[in-house]
A and B are shown apart, each in its own frame.
Chain A
């Protein structure tokens, strides 16, 4: 991988976003608006304190998934991917560029949702907010990597959009958002164990319960990172220089 080409690609992706302020606004604002909604739907700050942090990790995951899936699908459909593959650009340069650009967006997105949650919405954490921010950003990057990978299986933008519910909703159901994973039947529990979002939810729940970083959190983070790397490698494998 050549860092300069990855940086140039990240810059290009961010420039594309800059010309599309509405998309930037939605990426940054939607997770915060969802948190505010959640606060008033629950009606009870104490309940939000227990449930809210998990969503701080989930909303960015969902939004990054869809943004990355569609951006990559567009790159395939409009021929720019083929042009780049005929040029001296490595697949890893391209993927790292995407990861960098969307990772930066994720940082801004997560900072905003955290600040709003911790000030206006009175969410209190037992410890520092930094571990939560780190995990939320990792979740967002996992969403992005999954979106990149999923886009390989979408022939049209329409399909890419529909991958979002197909990919995300089952994970939300099985990941412990609706019913705690411990209460699931064995089969559902096994399914839950192989889905990345389960570990994102786990990590967030542990952080709200513990004042300091624990080994269990590290284990969750390791799993999230492993899924991210696997999705990026999968994405690289689906970027073919030559078609049959």
Chain B
């Protein structure tokens, strides 16, 4: 997994500055300044409820910002021109269970602006990529958990987005499928797509090019895995997270 991918020029696909999100009087994202580099798999790691999903929703443009700013692909997050350049997969698959796989992809593809031959090609390509061949005419509601997760990803990949935002895409999946999906993520990154992938499972952290460790709405670290291990002197990333979360220096890596 140690591939470097295309060298980031000045290439930031996401840049957040003093991002603050407050919901119902509670601070969900607490003054975050961060960036995501082009052509890399950036892992957003942290326990459930730490703000990962809210951060992703900000980037996609469906969550209001209380203060600060976020730039995505050179425009403010939520800009209408970004809507067909981002791929977003939520934790639940967010597809129509009462439509077939092909019908789901055709509808979302049309919404993304694809028509005719390019639409058919994008659907065929995405189905092959996610190994969903043979399921085109089946109702999505009859799919297994692993198949459903891949349908959610398929919709996110459909429009060849520049930035993929995947919220816990591999949680609860079988190890073989997880390995295959991570291989796909790195293949996409090598081809120039930038990925932000969240997880609350620490053994996925090592698979990322760069990590954002998150806890209670703040970042504990923002560095490649090797660097985090070096800084903390921890034997593995889980221990490193614990060191960062409980240790006195909460701002390591910044």
Contacts and interface: CB of A to CB of B under 8 A. Distances in A.
B139 to A, nearest CB: 6
A203 to B, nearest CB: 35
B113 interface: yes
Contact of A79 (B92, B110, B139): B92
Contacts, number: 75
B92 A88 contact: no
B192 interface: no
B155 interface: yes
Contacts of A84: 111
Contact of B112 (A9, A15, A87): A87
Contacts of B92: 78-79
Interface string B66-96: 0000000000001010011010101011111
B94 A244 contact: no
B96 A88 contact: no
B96 A80 contact: yes
B232 interface: no
Interface of B: 23, 57, 60-64, 78, 80, 83-84, 86, 88, 90, 92-100, 103, 107-108, 110-113, 139, 155
A242 B63 contact: yes
Interface residues of A, number: 25
B170 to A, nearest CB: 18
Contacts of A242: 61-64, 78
A11 B110 CA distance: 11
A80 B93 CA distance: 9
A241 B112 contact: no
A89 interface: yes
B108 to A, nearest CB: 7
A16 B61 contact: no
A121 interface: no
Given A19-B139, A79-B94, A243-B64, A86 B99 contact: no
A16 B98 contact: yes
B108 A87 contact: yes
B111 A5 contact: yes
A118 B200 CA distance: 64
Contact of B96 (A5, A11, A12): A12
Nearest to A93: B111
Contacts of B110: 4-5, 8
A19 B99 contact: yes
Given A8-B111, A12-B99, A19-B98, A86 B61 contact: yes
Contacts of A83: 88, 90, 94-95, 108, 155
A229 B97 CA distance: 30
B115 to A, nearest CB: 8
